[in-house]
């Protein structure tokens, strides 16, 4: 049996996640590129699909919500096409979490060769999936900007700050993925549970509606959702042009770091038993 812990363990300190990401940054980059390439391998258009798919999705959203349902994001919205862009931006942000946490429970089980045959830093696997999801999200945002001008005009200066909101979001996602990928080795049914929970979380997050539109009777549910303030800050940067909410960002960053540290620590401790279970 090979000791998978011999690969330069980063420790359980508060900077453990950062040490892991920095120490293995080149490996994470290579594996993320390989994953993106393999996703479209064998298809005629190849990587073109990574841009074509979100383009077609946004075109459909724009047609359905502006021409068919004529839905408006708020009562004061002047253009029904605004709803499609608000929705697409929210789904792009949420998709980073959904894609990764849905994959996380089976991530180690799908890469058992790394456990039994080589000394490999298993803790990089969740980071690889998050990195590839960020690339897809970046492509989505390029597509969003192509539609942005005709609907909203020139983006506000605060749109340049939108990537900052991804920092606490990705830390939160990484922490959840570290925890779920470790738990998935021991609890095989967790994958089905997470799929249901992710769908529930999507509808309990202000993606299809603004948080301000939620009735007072159920607003507590939204306030307890850690994604809600991040989503609101994300949209405020992209569309509202209001001053960047430093307090909301600091709270999100603290939460993201705490979850990342806890998830990383759980993974480092649990991986000692991976080879015995798989």
Tens-place pLDDT, residues 98-113? 999 999 999 998 888 8
Give the torsion sign (CA, 217, 220, 226, 230): positive
For residue 16, the model assigns a pLDDT of: 87
60, 149 in Cβ contact below 8 A? no
Among residues 37, 230, 252, 17, the alpha carbon closest in space to that of 127 is found at 17
263, 179 in Cβ contact below 8 A? yes
pLDDT band of residue 96 (cuts 50, 70, 90) is very high
Block residue for tokens 């359905």 = 64
Q: What is the pLDDT of residues 53-93, one digit of tens each?
A: 777 877 777 777 666 666 666 656 666 678 888 888 999 99
> What is the domain partition of the chain in residue ranges?
16-277
Q: 81 vs 145, which has greater pLDDT?
A: 145
For residue 66, the model assigns a pLDDT of: 64
Tell me what percent of the residues of the chain surpass a pLDDT of 70. 85
Triad 229, 231, 232: Cα angle to 5°: 65
Tell me what percent of the residues of the chain surpass a pLDDT of 90. 47
Q: What CA–CA distance (Å, rounded) separates 122 from 107?
A: 10
Triad 141, 159, 168: Cα angle to 5°: 80
Structure tokens at 106: 């089976």
- This prediction has a pTM of 0.87
pLDDT band of residue 10 (cuts 50, 70, 90) is low
Q: Where are the alpha helices (DSSP H) in the chain?
A: 16-23, 25-39, 49-63, 81-103, 113-116, 124-152, 162-186, 190-203, 219-223, 227-235, 246-270, 274-277
* 3-state SS string for 27-78: HHHHHHHHHHHHHCCCCCCHHHHHHHHHHHHHHHHHHHHHHHCCCCCCCCCC
**DSSP state, 208?**
S
pLDDT band of residue 48 (cuts 50, 70, 90) is low
Q: What is the pLDDT of residues 198-235, one digit of tens each?
A: 999 988 898 888 888 888 888 888 888 999 999 999 99
Does the pLDDT at position 127 exceed 70?
yes
């Amino acid at each position: 049996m090979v000791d998978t812990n011999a690969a330069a363990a980063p420790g359980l300190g508060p900077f453990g996640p950062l040490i892991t990401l920095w120490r293995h940054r080149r490996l994470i980059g290579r594996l993320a590129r390989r994953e993106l390439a393999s996703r479209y391998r064998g298809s005629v258009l190849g990587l073109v699909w990574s841009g074509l798919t979100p383009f077609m999705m946004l075109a459909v959203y724009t047609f359905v919500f502006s021409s068919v349902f004529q839905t408006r994001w708020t009562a004061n919205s002047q253009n029904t096409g605004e709803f499609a862009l608000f929705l697409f931006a929210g789904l792009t942000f949420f998709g980073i979490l959904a894609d990764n946490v849905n994959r996380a429970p089976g991530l180690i089980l799908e890469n058992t060769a790394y456990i039994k045959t080589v000394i490999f830093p298993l803790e990089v696997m969740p980071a690889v999936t998050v990195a590839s999801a960020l690339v897809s999200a970046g492509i989505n945002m390029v597509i969003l900007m192509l539609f942005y001008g005709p609907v909203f005009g020139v983006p506000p200066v605060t749109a340049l700050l939108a990537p900052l909101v991804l920092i606490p979001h990705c830390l939160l996602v990484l922490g959840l993925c570290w925890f779920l990928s470790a738990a998935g080795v021991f609890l095989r049914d967790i994958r089905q549970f997470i799929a249901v929970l992710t769908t529930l979380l999507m509808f309990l997050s202000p993606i299809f509606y603004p948080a301000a539109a939620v009735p007072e009777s159920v607003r507590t549910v939204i306030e307890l959702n850690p994604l809600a303030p991040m989503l609101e800050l994300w949209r405020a940067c992209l569309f509202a042009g209001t001053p960047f909410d430093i307090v909301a960002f600091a709270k999100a960053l603290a939460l993201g770091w705490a979850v990342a540290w806890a998830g990383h620590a759980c993974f480092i401790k649990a991986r000692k038993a991976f080879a015995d279970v798989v």
